[in-house]
Amino acid sequence: MKAEHFKHAEPSGQQEHKEAAGGLPSSGLRTNRAEPKDYYTFSDEEKEVEFKRHDMPTPWMNYLSNGTFHTMLSHAGGGVAFYKSPQIWRITRYRFFHLPMDRSGPYIYVQDAKTGGYWCPTSEPALDKPEEWKSAHGMGYTRFEAKRADIAARTVYFVGPYENSLIWNLTLSNQGSAAKELKVYAYAEFGMMEFMRELQWQCYNKHQVSVQYHPAETLVYRYGVENQPKPEETPLVYLASDTPLSGYDGDREEFIGCYRSESNPAAIENGGCTGSTLMGGDPCGALQFNLTLQPGESRTINVFLGTAADEQEVERAVAHSREAGFVESSFLALKENWASYLGAWESRLPDKDAERMINIWNPYQAHRNFLFSRNISFYATGTFRGVGYRDTSQDILAVVPFDTELAFDKLRLLLGQQYKDGHVNHYFFPNEGWEPVTSIHSDDHLWTALAAWDLLAETGDAAFLEAKLPYYDGSEGTVYEHLKAAIDFTASKLGPNGFPLMLRSDWNDQLFRVCREGRGESIWTAMQLGTVLLRMIDLAAAAGHPEHTAQYEAMYEAQRKRVNSIGWDGQWFRRAIMDDGRFLGSDEHDEAKIWLNAQTWATLSGMADEDKGLRAMDSVRDMLDTELGIKKIHPSITSFPDPADPLTNYNKGTGENGAVFCHANTWAIIAECMLGRGDLAYKYYRQLLPNVAMDKAGLWRYKAEPYVYASNLFGPESDKFGLANVSWLTGTAAWMYVAATQYILGVKPVMNGLSIDPCIPADWEGFTVKRRFRGCVYDITVTNVSKVCKGVKQITVDGERVEGNVLPPYPGRSSVKVEVIL
Give the binding range for ligand IFM (CB under 6 A) out of 132-140, 386-394, 465-473, 733-741.
Answer: 386-394
- What is the C-alpha separation between 743 and 759, in angstroms, rounded? 6
CB of residue 664 vs ligand IFM: minimum separation in angstroms? 8
CB of residue 441 vs ligand IFM: minimum separation in angstroms? 9
CB of residue 704 vs ligand IFM: minimum separation in angstroms? 16
CB of residue 554 vs ligand IFM: minimum separation in angstroms? 29
CB atoms within 10 A of CB 796: 13
Which amino acid belongs to residue 211?
V
Among 180, 197, 390, 560, binds ligand IFM (CB under 6 A): 390
**Among residues 321 and 505, whose Cβ is nearest to ligand IFM?**
505
**Among residues 472 and 512, whose Cβ is nearest to ligand IFM?**
512
Cβ within 8 Å of residue 479, ≥6 positions away:
411, 412, 415, 452, 464, 465, 466, 467, 469
CB of residue 109 vs ligand IFM: minimum separation in angstroms? 39
Beta carbons of 619 and 602 less than 8 angstroms apart: no
Task: Give the phi and the psi of residue 107 in degrees, each rounded to 5.
Answer: -100, 150
CB of residue 655 vs ligand IFM: minimum separation in angstroms? 8
**Among residues 509 and 763, whose Cβ is nearest to ligand IFM?**
509
Beta carbons of 582 and 641 less than 8 angstroms apart: yes
User: Cα–Cα–Cα angle for 697, 699, 703, nearest 5°?
Assistant: 100
Site string for ligand IFM, 335-374 (x = CB under 6 A): ----------------------------------------
**Among residues 188 and 664, whose Cβ is nearest to ligand IFM?**
664
CB of residue 712 vs ligand IFM: minimum separation in angstroms? 8
Beta carbons of 253 and 282 less than 8 angstroms apart: yes
Give the binding range for ligand IFM (CB under 6 A) out of 138-146, 383-391, 563-571, 686-694.
Answer: 383-391
Give the binding range for ligand IFM (CB under 6 A) out of 50-58, 351-359, 385-393, 751-759.
Answer: 385-393
Task: Give the phi and the psi of residue 780 in degrees, each rounded to 5.
Answer: -105, 130
Site string for ligand IFM, 564-593 (x = CB under 6 A): ------------------------------
Beta carbons of 369 and 395 less than 8 angstroms apart: yes
**Among residues 476 and 509, whose Cβ is nearest to ligand IFM?**
509
CB of residue 678 vs ligand IFM: minimum separation in angstroms? 27
**Among residues 169 and 448, whose Cβ is nearest to ligand IFM?**
448
Among 656, 705, 717, 757, binds ligand IFM (CB under 6 A): 656
**Among residues 218 and 654, whose Cβ is nearest to ligand IFM?**
654
- What is the C-alpha separation between 181 and 188, in angstroms, rounded? 23
Q: Is residue 391 near ligand IFM by the rule CB under 6 A?
A: yes
Name the DSSP letter for residue 622: I
CB of residue 659 vs ligand IFM: minimum separation in angstroms? 10
Cβ within 8 Å of residue 641, ≥6 positions away:
514, 578, 580, 582, 584, 589, 647
Helix or strand run (H / E) with residue 498 = none
CB atoms within 10 A of CB 21: 8
Which amino acid belongs to residue 803?
E
CB of residue 598 vs ligand IFM: minimum separation in angstroms? 14
Touching ligand IFM, residues 782-821 (CB under 6 A): none
Among 138, 388, 613, 658, binds ligand IFM (CB under 6 A): 388
- What is the C-alpha separation between 362 and 706, in angstroms, rounded? 11
CA atoms lying within 13 Å on the CB side of residue 629? 34
Touching ligand IFM, residues 475-534 (CB under 6 A): 507-509
**Among residues 507 and 721, whose Cβ is nearest to ligand IFM?**
507
Q: In whole angstroms, what separates CA 647 from the centre of its chain?
A: 28
In the bound state, the residue with its beta carbon closest to ligand IFM is 509
CB of residue 287 vs ligand IFM: minimum separation in angstroms? 41
Buried b vs exposed e over 572-593: b needs ≥16 C-beta within 10 Å?
bbbbbbbbeeebbbbeebebbb
Cβ within 8 Å of residue 252, ≥6 positions away:
189, 281, 282, 283, 284
How many residues bind ligand IFM (CB under 6 A)? The answer is 7
Residue spans of alpha helices (H) in 460-586: 479-491, 523-542, 549-564
Helix or strand run (H / E) with residue 576 = strand 576-577
**Among residues 390 and 615, whose Cβ is nearest to ligand IFM?**
390
Among candidate residues 506, 538, 548, 497, the one with its CA nearest the CA of residue 525:
506
CB of residue 726 vs ligand IFM: minimum separation in angstroms? 8
State the greatest distance between any 2 C-alpha atoms of the chain, in Å, as a whole number: 85
Give the binding range for ligand IFM (CB under 6 A) out of 134-142, 169-177, 388-396, 431-439.
Answer: 388-396
CB of residue 122 vs ligand IFM: minimum separation in angstroms? 32
Q: Is residue 447 near ligand IFM by the rule CB under 6 A?
A: no
**Among residues 362 and 373, whose Cβ is nearest to ligand IFM?**
373
Beta carbons of 125 and 103 less than 8 angstroms apart: yes
**Among residues 145 and 656, whose Cβ is nearest to ligand IFM?**
656
Q: In whole angstroms, what separates CA 395 from the centre of its chain?
A: 9
**Among residues 386 and 388, whose Cβ is nearest to ligand IFM?**
388
Touching ligand IFM, residues 709-748 (CB under 6 A): none
Beta carbons of 369 and 729 less than 8 angstroms apart: yes
- What is the C-alpha separation between 240 and 165, in angstroms, rounded? 10
CB of residue 507 vs ligand IFM: minimum separation in angstroms? 4
CB of residue 371 vs ligand IFM: minimum separation in angstroms? 17
Do β-strands 776-783 and 815-821 pair in parallel, antiparallel, or remain unpaired?
parallel
**Among residues 655 and 678, whose Cβ is nearest to ligand IFM?**
655
**Among residues 538 and 656, whose Cβ is nearest to ligand IFM?**
656
- What is the C-alpha separation between 563 and 531, in angstroms, rounded? 13
**Among residues 555 and 729, whose Cβ is nearest to ligand IFM?**
729
Q: Give the residues lining the site for ligand IFM (CB under 6 A).
A: 388, 390-391, 507-509, 656
